[in-house]
């Protein structure tokens, strides 16, 4: 049972996090559209569900605070409180506090630190302004009772609770006894009758179905609402009726239940009415299955092995010259490919959730900075690997803060420059040649080219007198310890960050670059691979070795004839329809021994704006490539991003095209200082 509750608690924590996010998003929507009843409803339901579930686990600090929030939200819902900016600001902070409460109280089982308690007191104070002056739900029935009973000292009521559990209660992981146990903490259980009459005859009885019912007399100071909340968790699966009875005075009963009728529309209807709200997340769960991410990874790993195995089978089938067999294996390969696509798709999530989280960040920071900034989001439905989505959040946050802090000027400066007072920030995501591109654009002042160059020379990052393109200068800000901000604010400008951003993105096998126009703004472009596990590869052969080039980066293949070979080897580049195409001889690059084959081919690859030709011996065609990371031993190896196993069982190395192209660019930069060499890198 304790195991059951632990699991339920974990579910509660996860759900509470989701609900709080829903609440935050709805609040932000409410800020732009104050009349949106749907958003108000969503916020109320989120708070209500959290309070109800927290009550079941006895998380009193969460219940206490959420109750007040819910109270205000209820008044917001019936229109007795109007939506305004201050209220939304307060409610957003309340959401933060609830998150902290859940993290501290529910996850770690600790009590709040004094600083958080102080915050809570301030929030309670702020909320109380929106509460009805006499609306004190849990104390009112008690005071009535006190007056009626004339006892004066005791505010205890005797409650009668009738419980009938549904057949699915056990299977849903609930234990009826835990509700009794919880009730015991609320007061004194004076009498319990366990009802077993509804248990069917032996031949139709299923030991895992629940047929239990209880009649409970409870003496407690808790109000009707509190008792009702105990059963929020099983509301769908059980019938509850809670009534107040009192031995001394019948009038107290009628008054108390009349008051309950006002507050809750009667105990029975309350449970019926609340049903839709409680079942809403249930139906949502019906469409989704929560799967442990590890299981998913395991599946994808297996599918990867399946791809390798099926490639091996096809290879064998082809060597057998058995037509039916070949046909069968090709059907299998087709299916395996579909499974692979499906499996990879399971891991894909839209980036929108991450983007939407930034609305709040932008709102808060723009207020803090006293700038008026609007965030536009597009391409939120663009899907990418879950791992990538999770890891890209921090770098994006940093870039956004930077753009707001340094990029966008204050409203006065903007007007002086002839721009609108309101700054614009946009987040955009789209697919491009097998990668995902995320753009963060602002319409601020742009980067100061001279200052960056000056600073770079000061720090010795650039030799004085070196000629750099604008692009190269702008990208200098990704160097470690580089910051040009005049003022160090608490947001950014301390010279840590941009290099960390770059490192995090590089870890995801992505790249980042930056474009800026003075006075018009800056665009940061992050390029990330679609998936981390499996790619479409293009096989090329040198000698007996096989290499894999990610197919998305291959543009075309051309044959290198004999006299072209001579000239291209001397010059290091090729005339590709009037374009200069730098060549890399992979045979030389990877120090293969032996002489080149009679015929050679050039594979033209492109990454971002760089293009180059790779000289290889053979073109071996497409191949579904399962990336196996190289061991730590090869960590320092450049130009190779991983390995894969071919159908034949041989190992092929996967070329790291971005790194290779970078090497060429750097090599070029070095030779560029020699006067005779022309610009080789095609842009």
Q: Which residues bind other proteins (CB under 8 A)?
A: 1, 4, 165, 169-171, 175-178, 180-181, 184, 191-194, 196, 199, 202, 205, 207-208, 210-212, 214
CB-nearer residue toward other proteins: 138 or 168: 168
Residue 45: which H helix or E strand, with range? Answer: helix 37-56
Q: Minimum CB separation from other proteins for residue 35, in Å?
A: 47
Alpha-carbon distance of 422 to 408, in angstroms, equals 9
Cβ-Cβ contacts under 8 Å for 209 (sequence gap 6 or more): 167, 168, 170, 171
Distance of closest approach, residue 206 Cβ to other proteins, in angstroms: 8
Tell me which residue of 378, 498, 517, 495 sits closest to 444, measured CA to CA. 517
Closest CA to 471 of 524, 428, 516, 503: 516
> Considering only CA atoms, which of 213, 159, 163, 166 is closest in space to residue 190?
159
CA distance 646 to 470: 43
Rounded to the nearest whole angstrom, what is the least distance from the CB of residue 175 to other proteins in the complex? 4
Residue 208: CB minimum distance to other proteins, A: 6
Closer by beta carbon to other proteins, 176 or else 537: 176
What does the alpha-carbon distance between residue 497 and residue 459 come to, in Å, rounded to a whole number? 17
Least gap, CB of 112 to other proteins (angstroms): 32
Residue 1: CB minimum distance to other proteins, A? 5
| Shortest distance, position 173 Cβ to other proteins, whole Å | 8
| Identity of the residue, 5 or 140, whose beta carbon is nearer to other proteins in the bound complex | 5
Residue 190, Cβ neighbours under 10 Å: how many?
11
Q: Decide whether 132 or 199 has the Cβ nearer to other proteins.
A: 199
Q: Which is nearer to other proteins, 207 or 675 (CB)?
A: 207
Please say which residue, 37 or 191, places its beta carbon nearer to other proteins. Answer: 191
Q: With contact defined as beta carbons under 8 Å apart, do 396 and 375 qualify?
A: no
Which is closer to other proteins, CB of 56 or CB of 373?
Answer: 56
Nearer to other proteins, 190 or 566 (CB): 190
DSSP, collapsed to helix, strand or coil, labels residue 395 as: helix
State the minimum distance, in angstroms, from the CB of residue 195 to other proteins: 10
Based on CB atoms, which residue is closest to other proteins, 220 or 310? 220
Q: Answer yes or no: are the C-beta atoms of 537 and 644 closer than 8 Å.
A: yes
- According to the 3-state scheme, what is the secondary structure of 315-376? HHHHHHCCHHHHHHHHHHHHHHHHHHHHHHHHCEEECHHHHHHHHHHHHHHHHHHCCCEEEE
Minimum gap (Å) between residue 235 Cβ and other proteins = 17
β-strand 534-542 against 618-626: which pairing, if any? antiparallel
Helix axes 386-402, 352-369, angle to 10 degrees: 20
Q: What is the C-alpha to C-alpha distance for residues 551 and 208, in angstroms, rounded to an integer?
A: 54
């Amino acid at each position: 049972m304790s195991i059951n509750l632990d699991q339920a608690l974990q579910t509660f924590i996860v759900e509470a996090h989701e609900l709080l996010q829903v609440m935050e998003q709805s609040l932000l929507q409410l800020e732009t559209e104050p009349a949106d009843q749907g958003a108000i409803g969503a916020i109320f339901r989120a708070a209500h569900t959290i309070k109800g579930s927290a009550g079941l686990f006895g998380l009193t600090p969460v219940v206490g605070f959420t109750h007040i929030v819910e109270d205000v939200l209820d008044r917001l819902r019936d229109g007795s409180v109007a939506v305004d900016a201050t209220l939304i600001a307060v409610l957003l902070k309340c959401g933060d506090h609830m998150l902290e409460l859940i993290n501290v109280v529910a996850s770690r089982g600790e009590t709040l630190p004094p600083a958080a308690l102080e915050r809570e007191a301030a929030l309670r104070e702020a909320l109380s302004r929106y509460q009805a002056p006499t609306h004190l739900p849990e104390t009112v029935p008690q005071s009535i009772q006190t007056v009626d009973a004339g006892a004066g000292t005791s505010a205890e009521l005797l409650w009668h609770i009738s419980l009938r559990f549904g057949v699915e209660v056990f299977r849903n992981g609930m234990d009826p006894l835990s509700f009794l146990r919880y009730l015991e903490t609320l007061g004194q259980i004076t009498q319990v009758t366990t009802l077993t009459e509804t248990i069917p005859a032996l031949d139709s009885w299923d030991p895992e179905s629940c047929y239990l019912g209880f009649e409970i007399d409870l003496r407690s100071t808790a109000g009707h609402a509190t008792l009702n909340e105990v059963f929020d968790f099983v509301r769908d699966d059980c019938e509850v009726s809670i009534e107040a009875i009192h031995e001394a005075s019948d009038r107290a009963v009628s008054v108390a239940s009349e008051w309950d009728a006002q507050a809750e529309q009667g105990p029975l209807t309350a449970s019926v009415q609340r049903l839709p709200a409680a079942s809403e997340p249930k139906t949502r769960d019906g469409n989704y299955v929560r799967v442990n991410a590890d299981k998913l990874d395991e599946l994808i790993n297996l599918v990867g092995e399946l791809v390798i195995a099926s490639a091996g089978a096809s290879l064998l089938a082809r060597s057998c010259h058995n037509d039916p067999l070949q046909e069968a294996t090709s059907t299998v390969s087709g299916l395996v490919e579909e499974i692979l696509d499906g499996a990879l798709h399971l891991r894909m999530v839209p980036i929108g959730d991450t983007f939407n989280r930034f609305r709040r960040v932008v709102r808060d920071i723009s207020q803090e900075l006293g700038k008026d900034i609007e965030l536009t989001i597009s391409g939120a439905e663009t899907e990418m690997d879950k791992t990538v989505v999770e890891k890209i959040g921090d770098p994006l946050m940093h870039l956004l803060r930077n753009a707001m802090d340094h990029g966008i000027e204050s409203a006065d400066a903007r007007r002086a420059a002839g721009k609108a007072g309101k700054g614009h920030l946009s987040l955009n995501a789209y697919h491009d040649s097998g990668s995902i591109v995320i753009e963060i654009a602002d319409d601020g002042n742009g980067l100061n080219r001279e200052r960056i160059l000056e600073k770079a020379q000061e720090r010795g990052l650039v030799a004085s007198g070196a000629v750099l393109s604008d692009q190269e200068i702008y990208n200098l800000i990704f160097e470690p310890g580089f910051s040009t901000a005049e003022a160090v604010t608490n947001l950014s400008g301390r010279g840590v960050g941009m290099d960390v951003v770059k490192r995090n993105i590089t870890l995801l096998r992505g790249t980042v670059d930056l474009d800026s126009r003075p006075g018009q703004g800056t665009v940061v472009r992050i390029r990330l691979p679609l998936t981390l596990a499996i790619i479409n590869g293009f096989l090329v052969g040198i000698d007996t070795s096989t290499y894999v080039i990610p197919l998305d980066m291959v543009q075309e293949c051309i044959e290198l004839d004999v006299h072209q070979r001579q000239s291209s080897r001397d010059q290091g580049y090729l005339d590709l329809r009037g374009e200069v195409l730098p060549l890399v001889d992979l045979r030389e690059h990877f120090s293969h021994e032996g002489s080149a084959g009679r015929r050679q081919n050039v594979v033209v690859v492109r990454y971002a704006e760089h293009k180059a030709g790779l000289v290889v011996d053979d073109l071996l065609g497409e191949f579904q490539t399962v990336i196996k990371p190289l061991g730590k031993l090869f960590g320092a190896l450049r130009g190779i991003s991983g390995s894969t196993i071919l159908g034949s069982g041989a190992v092929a190395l996967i070329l790291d095209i971005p790194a290779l192209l970078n090497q060429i660019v750097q090599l070029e930069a070095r030779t560029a200082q020699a006067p005779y060499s022309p610009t080789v890198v095609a842009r």
